[in-house]
Amino acid sequence: MINKLTFASAAMLMFFATTVFAQDWPQFLGPERNSTSPQQNLLRSWPESGPEVIWSINLGIGYGGPVVKDGKVYLLDRDDEIGDNLRCFDLEKGGEL
């Protein structure tokens, strides 16, 4: 028989897993190109310690911002030997695809 704590933990996990999602930001100024997000309950300011860093990568010189779509992060990087380089990363783990 499943104990109450295990059941409550599983119920909470299912609730949060179905209500938390991230919206794609596939183009300049966002999904509607109006610099606003339809997502609810967004932070109005960062915590004193700053946002949580999930992953990071080394980049060359570049001026383009990232594009997020379907769990992938796209960005332009520059290497003096190669030139401009479009790179793609896994949103959750940061591995280069």
Q: What is the pLDDT of residues 19-36, one digit of tens each?
A: 444 567 777 887 788 887
- Note the Cα 24 to chain centre separation in Å: 8
Whether residue 83 lies inside any domain: the answer is yes
Residue 9 vs residue 66, higher pLDDT: 66
Give me the half-sphere count of Cα atoms (radius 13 Å) on the Cβ side of residue 12.
6
Whether residue 86 lies inside any domain: the answer is yes
User: What tens digit of pLDDT does each residue of 62-93 get?
Assistant: 767 888 888 999 988 888 888 888 899 999 99
DSSP string, 65-83: PPEEETTEEEEEEEETTTE
Contact 68, 24 (CB under 8 A): yes
Whether residue 29 lies inside any domain: the answer is yes
Determine the pLDDT at residue 88: 94
Number of structural domains in the chain: 1
Whether residue 90 lies inside any domain: the answer is yes
Residues of the domain holding 92: 21-34+55-97
